[in-house]
Chains A and B, each alone.
Chain A
């Protein structure tokens, strides 16, 4: 059977109406058909599996097929983003004690150059008589991103799901974005990144931001690869104090892994705010003020010269 497009459509329509859906699918459209066509001989070896409804079932080993990895996303797809999503982060300042587990996890996953950080934890004190607190910062993934505005080659871009990413295969290293970002969130690969060979040889992906390349800019990517898989960014899951909440503004929910809130309610009830609102950058990262804190503020070990809080 070599159906033309029209005949196939008619055929499928007819098949659906007849209630015999699967039988009518043409070969390339049916992912089950090719394996169904192959005659797999049972090996006799059984494996115990947990089914989706919680029952333990036995399956012959020969019928098991490895699940392929998520296919790498093309550069075009990575630039568009995930449809119908608007990612948002809420950082609860009352829970942070500058453990920097977020930073560690982020540095590790993205192979950030030693000494540089995509996440920074600032000791802040807004005025002389106000309370000090810890303020972790990621990329703010602004809705009016100054970095994207100034990029001459569209190497840093804003996706429809709100994430701002960098195409390190296109970046020319002019560093205008670094000058433009008021949050000092961007870092530069001043030298050849020290990466294990198998990482360095990978093709660059905007969503994983790996491998970083010499002479280009890097920054927090909201772990776009994780969000595509429906998982939390690494900083969120690494934080033992649940400081970071991540989620989707359209679903109106954010979670830190163990607690889930309605985003709108959380930000309303706890008087959430964004950094440097007056600049008009419209960040996607919200902060909950450091009230009723879980930990007292203790100046950390990091003895940095010229440290000003």
Chain B
């Protein structure tokens, strides 16, 4: 990387127009979003009856999808904040990828929670009648805070790059140029500006860590503050946060590979990055495994009566295939791949990342739904359809549409802005040379 000239770097990293594959990708994502929107209009007019949720399973894949979004958004704080504060420099090219994942995921977490509401038209009641004792209000507060810090953490490092983008108006076209002007025309790259920007970023990376822990801890408390077997656990905060870092890191592995391929960034996202990220994923998977053992082994050892039905359902009952699939794909297989040096090459690392993300999505579902099917008093005096749960097509469409929407934000962002910070890459090379 050291030998790259400044101009070459700029040329390599400037955003580019979509090629045929890119257009196809956008088309697929857009159509998934449209199907999701159609499903949601049906839900708006008919009510939540279009879902398969009923009185016992009152939270379904909307909520597990929400937990997934909150989880994956934590990676922003891991890569930009934790690695930055520990003075790790190899992660610089990954910061923007992580931060846009964080912003898009937390945006869709907010959207999906509104989708789950029976009365989205009364959303304003949260502000007019909000009660601070409800964990939902805590979640609203911390998620909003996290959203704004993440936006700023995306925006501030973008300022020097905006100037570079403005200099290349001819290549990038007029309309994007207006956006760059709006966002960063005041940036002159003066030492004073650079200093104040760095200072602001430092404050943000420190504040985002407790906020990031809060968003997922509070989200876990939406479950852990109830009495239900499977949720009534003091382990839940740590269990959720560790799982969140894992799925976020898996998501970054996926995104790294995708951007490296489609934007030909081999010089910037190198095998070294896959190697390092692979090691991080192994560590995070083992930490998550540790909390899983705590979460399941201890109640299983005692087998208290309310826990028994729930746990047996997971270990050997109706939910066993999903439960073991989630455990194996989100933890065992990725560790098995990434623990070897050959496994940390780009393609196997990408596959491991995909496994982590898919397994984690299902894991969230296994956390939310089985518990609701094992209430304290047996299910009674309800129609047969209330006794089990499988998401309706509307729920699938909305869930998939939201995932597509998240990826659409990331893709469009990469079309408009350099997905690898240009100015920071240049600065780092210069510093390296001076040293």
Residues of chain A having any CB pair with chain B under 8 Å: 103, 115-117, 120-123, 137, 146, 149-155, 170-176, 178-180, 182-184, 186-192, 214-217, 276, 279, 302, 304-309
Q: Given the known inter-chain contacts A117-B381, A191-B47, please indicate yes or no for A184 contacting B118, CB distance below 8 A.
A: no
Instruction: Name the distance in Å between B385's Cβ and chain A's nearest Cβ.
Output: 9
Is B119 an interface position by the 8 A CB rule? yes
- What are the residues of chain A within 8 A of B54 when measuring CB–CB? 188, 190
| Closest B residue to A167 using CB positions | B129
Q: Which of B129, B134, B227 contacts A279 (CB 8 A)?
A: B227
Residue tally, chain B, CB below 8 Å to A: 48
- What are the residues of chain B within 8 A of A182 when measuring CB–CB? 226-228, 375-376
With A and B bound together, what is the CA distance between A115 and B125 in angstroms? 30
Contact B380 A120 (CB under 8 A): yes
Contact B129 A176 (CB under 8 A): no
Q: Which of A153, A175, A191 contacts B126 (CB 8 A)?
A: A153
Instruction: Name the distance in Å between A164's Cβ and chain B's nearest Cβ.
Output: 15
Q: Which of B46, B372, B382, B387 contacts A179 (CB 8 A)?
A: B372
Contact A150 B118 (CB under 8 A): no
With A and B bound together, what is the CA distance between A47 and B59 in angstroms? 61
Q: Which of A186, A187, A214, A302 contacts B47 (CB 8 A)?
A: A214
| Closest A residue to B56 using CB positions | A184
Dominant SS among interface residues on chain B: loop
Contact B118 A214 (CB under 8 A): yes
| Closest B residue to A279 using CB positions | B227
- What are the residues of chain B within 8 A of A115 when measuring CB–CB? 382-383, 386
With A and B bound together, what is the CA distance between A309 and B51 in angstroms? 29
Q: Given the known inter-chain contacts A172-B118, A175-B58, please indicate yes or no for A307 contacting B48, CB distance below 8 A.
A: no
Q: Which of B49, B122, B376, B381 contacts A183 (CB 8 A)?
A: B376
Contact A191 B118 (CB under 8 A): no
Indicate with 1 or 0, residue by residue over B116-149, a CB within 8 angstroms of chain A CB atoms.
1111001101101111011111001000000000
- What are the residues of chain A within 8 A of B228 when measuring CB–CB? 179, 182
- The number of residue pairs between A and B whose CB atoms lie closer than 8 Å in the complex comes to 147
Is B8 an interface position by the 8 A CB rule? no
Q: Given the known inter-chain contacts A121-B381, A179-B228, please indicate yes or no for A151 contacting B131, CB distance below 8 A.
A: yes
- What are the residues of chain A within 8 A of B47 when measuring CB–CB? 189-192, 214-215
Is B379 an interface position by the 8 A CB rule? yes
With A and B bound together, what is the CA distance between A173 and B113 in angstroms? 11
Instruction: Name the distance in Å between A121's Cβ and chain B's nearest Cβ.
Output: 7
- 17 pairs, CB–CB < 8 Å, chain A vs chain B: A115-B386, A120-B381, A122-B380, A137-B377, A152-B137, A153-B128, A153-B131, A154-B131, A170-B125, A176-B136, A179-B58, A184-B377, A188-B118, A214-B47, A214-B118, A276-B376, A307-B380
Beyond A155-B125, A170-B125, A176-B136, 6 additional contacts (C-beta under 8 Å) are A123-B380, A146-B226, A152-B126, A172-B123, A182-B228, A190-B53
Is B384 an interface position by the 8 A CB rule? yes
- What are the residues of chain B within 8 A of A116 when measuring CB–CB? 55, 382
Residues of chain B having any CB pair with chain A under 8 Å: 46-49, 51, 53-56, 58-59, 116-119, 122-123, 125-126, 128-131, 133-137, 140, 222-223, 225-228, 372, 375-384, 386-387
Instruction: Name the distance in Å between A149's Cβ and chain B's nearest Cβ.
Output: 6
**Interface-central residue, B55, B122, B133, by most chain A CB under 10 Å:** B55
- What are the residues of chain A within 8 A of B125 when measuring CB–CB? 153, 155, 170, 172
Q: Which of B48, B128, B372, B383 contacts A173 (CB 8 A)?
A: B48
**Interface-central residue, A117, A153, A154, A214, by most chain B CB under 10 Å:** A153
With A and B bound together, what is the CA distance between A182 and B371 in angstroms? 12
Contact B134 A172 (CB under 8 A): no
- What are the residues of chain B within 8 A of A178 when measuring CB–CB? 55, 58
| Closest B residue to A302 using CB positions | B381
Q: Given the known inter-chain contacts A150-B225, A179-B372, A188-B58, please indicate yes or no for A122 contacting B131, CB distance below 8 A.
A: no
- What are the residues of chain B within 8 A of A150 when measuring CB–CB? 134-136, 225-226
Q: Which of A176, A276, A306 contacts B134 (CB 8 A)?
A: A176
Contact B58 A172 (CB under 8 A): no
Instruction: Name the distance in Å between A124's Cβ and chain B's nearest Cβ.
Output: 8
Contact B134 A187 (CB under 8 A): no
Instruction: Name the distance in Å between A276's Cβ and chain B's nearest Cβ.
Output: 7
| Closest A residue to B45 using CB positions | A192
Q: Given the known inter-chain contacts A190-B47, A192-B47, please indicate yes or no for A172 contacting B376, CB distance below 8 A.
A: no
Contact A174 B46 (CB under 8 A): no
Instruction: Name the distance in Å between B127's Cβ and chain A's nearest Cβ.
Output: 9
**Interface-central residue, A117, A175, A179, A192, by most chain B CB under 10 Å:** A179
**Interface-central residue, B47, B119, B122, by most chain A CB under 10 Å:** B119
Contact B378 A308 (CB under 8 A): yes
**Interface-central residue, A171, A174, A216, A307, by most chain B CB under 10 Å:** A174
With A and B bound together, what is the CA distance between A122 and B377 in angstroms? 8
| Closest B residue to A137 using CB positions | B377
Q: Which of A120, A172, A187 contacts B119 (CB 8 A)?
A: A172
- What are the residues of chain A within 8 A of B227 when measuring CB–CB? 146, 180, 182, 279
With A and B bound together, what is the CA distance between A178 and B56 in angstroms? 8
